[in-house]
């Protein structure tokens, strides 16, 4: 059975800290790995990673995929209270028609 | 551009009643997905459509759940009869089926079955 595991389950940090969120997967026929941020409503798309070792960056957020280790990390530098959210990792399989398997998420809380 | 639009935003009803959730995907997207999110199980795929045709409904929990996509701009998820354990947030998402195109989510319907 395809599985996506995220760690930690939850995390509390202070503004300005750097955080690293982890995602590991055990799937057949991997195509891509996606990161989403979920605040109060819809998950919003952050990154899609298909190639190992190539960092994707958007402002203070960055992510990288390691296909050998079957994992990905999401880094957030200089955290702000607005980064508080659930961060979801999902894996897309080939032949799956864009179907995603999600991890249970990491709940991040950034305090002043 | 308008995103994925879901209605209603909230639904509270008594067990045994029929519930219909609605979704309008992003124009031009030809894949549509229905998810359910709970604290215990996270975000689970229920069913997805490609070009209005159901492709995989293996996530639909039981026969009480059904989904339709009569045209490219509208889909429904129906629960009949509803039960308290169906209480959850139901999300609809859409994407283009071109390679490397992410899914975009609606704001969800928060469903409470009393």
Q: Which residues in chain A have Cβ-Cβ distances shorter than 8 Å to B100?
A: 32, 48, 50
The residues, ordered by sequence, that sit 6+ positions from A93 with a Cβ below 8 Å of its Cβ are A2, A27, A28, A29, A30, A31, A99, A101
Asked if residue B8 has pLDDT above 80, the reply is yes
Report whether pLDDT(B99) > 90: no
SS3 A52: coil
Q: Residue A1 above 90 pLDDT?
A: no
Pairwise CB contact (< 8 Å): A88 & B91 = no
Angstrom distance (rounded) from CA B88 to CA B80:
15
| Confidence grade of residue B1 (pLDDT, cut at 50, 70, 90) | low
pLDDT of residue A8: 96
Q: For A85-94, how does the pLDDT look when each residue is reduced to its tens digit (9 = 90+)?
A: 999 999 998 8
Query: Which residues in chain B are contacts of A99 at CB distance < 8 A?
Result: 33, 45, 48, 56
- How high is the pLDDT of residue A91? 95
What's the pLDDT at B72? Answer: 94
Nearest CA of chain B to the CA of A41: how many Å? 5
Nearest-angstrom CA–CA distance, B106 and B26: 10
pLDDT at B67: 97
Q: Cβ distance B82 to B17 under 8 Å?
A: yes
Q: Is the pLDDT of residue A67 over 80?
A: yes
Strands (E), chain A: 3-7, 10-14, 19-26, 30-38, 43-49, 56-58, 61-66, 71-76, 85-93, 100-102, 106-111
d(CA A54, CA A72): 11
Q: Among A80-84, A88-92, B39-43, B69-73, where is mean pLDDT lowest?
A: B39-43
Please choose, from the candidates B43, B96, B105, B28, the residue with its C-alpha nearest in 3D space to the C-alpha of residue A97: B96
User: pLDDT (tens digit, 9 = 90+) per residue, B22-67?
Assistant: 999 999 999 999 999 998 888 999 999 999 999 999 999 889 999 9
Helix (H) or strand (E) holding B69: strand B65-71
Yes or no, beta carbons of A42 and B106 under 8 Å apart: yes
Q: Which of A45, A97, A102 sits opposite B102 (nearest CB)?
A: A45
Q: Average pLDDT over chain A, rounded to whole?
A: 94
Chain A closest-CA separation from residue B101 CA (Å): 8
Task: Give the C-alpha separation, A65 to A74, whole Å.
Answer: 9
Q: Which of B45, B104, B107 sits opposite A41 (nearest CB)?
A: B107
Provide the pLDDT for residue A2: 86
pLDDT digits (tens, 9 = 90+) for A2-31: 899 999 999 999 999 999 999 999 988 899
């Amino acid at each position: 059975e395809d599985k996506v595991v995220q760690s930690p389950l939850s995390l509390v940090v202070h503004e300005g800290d750097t955080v690293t969120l982890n995602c590991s997967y055990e799937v057949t026929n991997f195509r891509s790995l996606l990161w989403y941020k979920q605040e109060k409503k819809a998950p919003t798309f952050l990154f899609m990673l298909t190639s190992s070792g190539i960092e994707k960056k958007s402002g203070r957020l960055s992510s990288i995929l390691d296909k050998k280790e079957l994992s990905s990390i999401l880094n957030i530098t200089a955290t702000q209270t607005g980064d508080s959210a659930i961060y979801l990792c999902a894996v897309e399989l080939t032949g799956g028609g864009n179907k995603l398997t999600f991890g249970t998420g990491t709940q991040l809380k950034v305090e002043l | 551009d308008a995103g994925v639009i879901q209605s209603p935003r909230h639904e509270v009803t008594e067990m045994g009643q029929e519930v219909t959730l609605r979704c309008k995907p992003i124009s031009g997207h030809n894949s549509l997905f229905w998810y359910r999110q709970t604290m215990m199980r996270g975000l689970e795929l229920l069913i997805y459509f490609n070009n209005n045709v159901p492709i995989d409904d293996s996530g639909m929990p039981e026969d009480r759940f059904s989904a339709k996509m009569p045209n490219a701009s509208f889909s429904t998820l129906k629960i009949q009869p509803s039960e308290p354990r169906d209480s959850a947030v139901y999300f609809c998402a859409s994407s283009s089926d071109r390679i490397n195109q992410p899914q975009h989510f609606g704001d969800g319907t928060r469903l409470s079955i009393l």
